[in-house]
Amino acid sequence: MVRRVNSSLACFSMLVGTALAAPVTAEPNWFVVTGQDVQIRCGADSSYYSFAVAQEGDLLAVNGEKYNYARVRAMGPVFEKAYGYVKYPTNEDGRFKVEADGSSGTTMGATPILAPNLNTNDLAHSWRQLCILPGGEKLDVIETWNIEQDGLHAVPHTVHRVSLPVIAEGWVNMADLRPATTIETAALNGGETVETTETVETEDTETTVVMGGNESITGEDPVAGGQDDPPVFVLNEVQPSILMQWMEVEEQEAVVENEEVEIVVEERTFLMMIEESYEGVVLSDLDDEELTCLRDDFILASEEEEDPIRSRYAMMRANQIDVYATLKSQNSVIDGLQNRVERSKSDAVDRDLAISNTGDYEIVGRLGTSGVFNGDERPLLYRIQDPRTNRTLAYVRPESNTMIGDMIGQHVGVMGILEYDPALQVNIINMTRVDLMASNTAYVPVD
């Protein structure tokens, strides 16, 4: 006879795998803005200028607190239209590479993102750094323009207005924030978060059991003298392997519950971000403005570090920048003094040459104007002075040479006849020739 029963297939083993698709990052805490026109500042104090504004009901990602100010990350709808500045000397195009269409660019090294000052359009007041990007980071470029040399910039600069990266940080007064609820956080992600469990169901299989007897299912006689044949198990009309085991079990669901795994993530401090961004950068490659910003960042990192050793290390780096800036300034002064010494040596050589050639000149000295013979009440005369004592050696008439007026303030050698004028009671030289002896220009006091 043939009997059909429902049974479930039990497997020997089950393979379970887990893969991590992305590195784990620390999730921020979400807070809700409770006021209108809440200023997002570039520092933890009301004296720092604001670069963005949040409205009541906006969500902000908070990952720290200092001086009753919350440190917020540039993520969420509030920062969709926020921007920063990338600024560097125009002749140093290796700092930031802009794509051909001008809509994006890539950092080629440590690149500070400057916060825009919403209180003024003057770029000189937008100086605070929001973050420092390492090389290889891609940014969306909104606008690009050039700044000519001025009081703030010693050389022309290129400025890019870029979208803020996620690692950029601002500061908001804690009095204008409250913790967000689960519903408000879920709404930010586009819906509620639902916990699910994975269910594995076993497939029912129809098994045919063939019982042996006096005749087979084909109606043929069994072998003579044979006994009852043992039952044969047929699975979907296929002879099973001897290695398979079959057991009759109740229909059930195998439930695999999610296990919570606690992952400890080491928070990257501000000091670590500065060190990574400026790794391999030489201080001499930075201009004065970048050095000032870097020094301020190290001082801020020393205040935020909880480890006293790392705090002292950050302050030591700030002091190193102070020492470098002082040495750079002193070297600039020394270079200026050396240039003055070289010019003085050159002037001395010119004077020696002029003195050595005075044999052909009647008078050698500095040509200047006269406060007495100025052409008002007395005739116009130029005077020749001793360069060391400023004593007047003689006077010359300007009409005697048309080019002599262009030599005022210079050392000249005059050829001619020196005569005394009894009417004016001064020595006047009747010029036949005048030569420029040196290129020095100096102020000549009047009589």
**Mean pLDDT over the full length of the chain:** 76
Cα three-residue angle 178-181-184, rounded to 5 degrees: 105
Beta strands in 323-423 (DSSP E): 363-374, 380-385, 392-396, 411-421
d(C-alpha 177, C-alpha 62), whole Å? 10
Least confident stretch, 124-128, 191-195, 262-266, 330-334: 191-195
Look at residue 106 in the predicted model and tell me its pLDDT: 93
Give domain 27-82+166-186's CATH number out of 3.20.20.60, 2.30.30.40, 1.20.1090.10, 2.70.70.10.
2.30.30.40
Task: Give the per-residue pLDDT at 192.
Answer: 45
Half-sphere exposure of 326 (CA within 13 A, CB side): 6
Strand ranges across the sheet with 50-54: 50-54, 38-41, 169-173, 69-73, 59-66, 29-33, 177-179
Sketch the domain layout of the chain as residue ranges.
27-82+166-186, 84-163, 270-329, 357-436
Residue 223's pLDDT band (boundaries 50, 70, 90)? very low
Using the Cα atoms of residue 347, residue 351, residue 356 and residue 358 in order, give the sign of their dihedral: positive
More confident residue, 137 or 195: 137
pLDDT at 108 over 80: yes
Query: Using one digit for the tens of pLDDT, what is the confidence trace for 199-211?
Result: 444 444 444 444 4
pTM of the prediction?
Answer: 0.43
Residue 23 pLDDT level (bands cut at 50, 70, 90):
very low
Query: For residue 220, what pLDDT is reported?
Result: 46
Helix (H) or strand (E) holding 185: helix 182-188
Q: Flag whether pLDDT at 180 surpasses 60.
A: yes
Element (H, E) at 30: strand 29-33
pLDDT of the residue at 361: 81
Q: What does the alpha-carbon distance between residue 367 and residue 405 come to, in Å, rounded to a whole number?
A: 9
Mean pLDDT of 243-249: 46
Per-residue pLDDT tens digits for 382-413: 999 988 888 899 999 888 777 888 888 888 88
Rounded CA-CA distance 138/133 in Å is 10
Kindly tell me if the per-residue pLDDT of 218 is higher than 70: no
Alpha carbon distances (Å) from 382 to 344, 351, 366, 406, 436:
27, 21, 10, 12, 15
**pLDDT digits 0-9 by tens, 302-352:** 888 888 888 888 899 899 899 998 998 899 899 999 999 988 888 877 766
CA distances, 151 to each of 88, 335, 373 (Å): 16, 22, 43
For 244, other C-beta atoms within 10 Å of its C-beta total 11
Least confident segment among 2-16, 149-163, 327-341, 408-422:
2-16
Does the pLDDT of residue 141 top 90, yes or no? yes
Q: What is the pLDDT of residue 260?
A: 63
**pLDDT reported for residue 270:** 82
* Domain 357-436 sits in CATH 3.40.630: no
What are the tens digits of pLDDT across the range 159-170? 999 999 999 999
CB 414 within 8 A of CB 431: yes
3-state secondary structure of 72: strand
pLDDT confidence of residue 405: 82
CA distance 117 to 216: 96
Contact predicate 69/174, CB 8 Å: yes
SS3 label, residue 200: strand
- Rounded to the nearest 10 degrees, what angle do helices 288-304 and 308-356 cross at? 160
373 or 437, which is more confident? Answer: 373
pLDDT digits (tens, 9 = 90+) for 38-56: 999 999 988 899 999 999 9
| Region of residue 201 (left: phi > 0; alpha: psi -120 to 50; beta: else) | beta
Grouping H, G, I as helix, E, B as strand and the rest as coil, residue 35 is: coil
Q: Which residues of 206-228 are buried (b: 16+ CB within 10 A; e: fewer)?
A: ebeeeebeeeeeeeeeeeeeeee
